[in-house]
Homo-oligomer: A and B are copies of this chain.
Amino acid sequence: MAEFLCGLDAAVTVVGGKWKPLILWALSVEPRRTGELRRELPGVSEKVLTQQLRELENDGVVHREIHQEVPPRVVYSLTAEGAQLDRALRPLGEWGEEHMDGIREARR
């Protein structure tokens, strides 16, 4: 069972990993199919993307809906909790936007 030191620890456990905050951001714009997400996130492998979506779904922030068509269409969207989480990530995104050049320079 996961034990958390504090709220931030719990939140970081949910959004930790290179792609998860970006997946939330993409889904906040509109619900997407896996292929659409892959195009939004250049460099992610299908295996990693599927794994991360499954974890986000298990944590209750992403909803997976299967439309019974041929072939079946799988669409991912944010749950209410996921939309809240995405909003909570916005100030962090703004900080990153502002300091991106400095961080890039520091890691050169």
In the complex, A76 has a CB within 8 A of chain B: no
B42 lies within 8 A of A97 (CB): no
Chain B residues with Cβ below 8 Å from A81 are 99, 102
CA gap between A91 and B9 in the complex, in Å: 13
Per-residue CB contact flags for chain A residues 75-108 toward chain B (1 = under 8 Å, else 0) read: 0000001001101111111111111101110111
Instruction: Contacts A8-B22, A10-B104, A11-B93 known; list 13 others, CB within 8 Å.
Output: A2-B103, A2-B107, A7-B96, A8-B92, A8-B93, A9-B96, A11-B96, A12-B92, A12-B96, A14-B96, A15-B92, A59-B103, A88-B91
Closest 6 CB pairs of A and B: A7-B97, A11-B96, A7-B96, A8-B93, A10-B96, A88-B91
A contact residues vs B (CB 8 Å cutoff): 1-18, 21-22, 25, 41-42, 58-60, 81, 84-85, 87-100, 102-104, 106-108
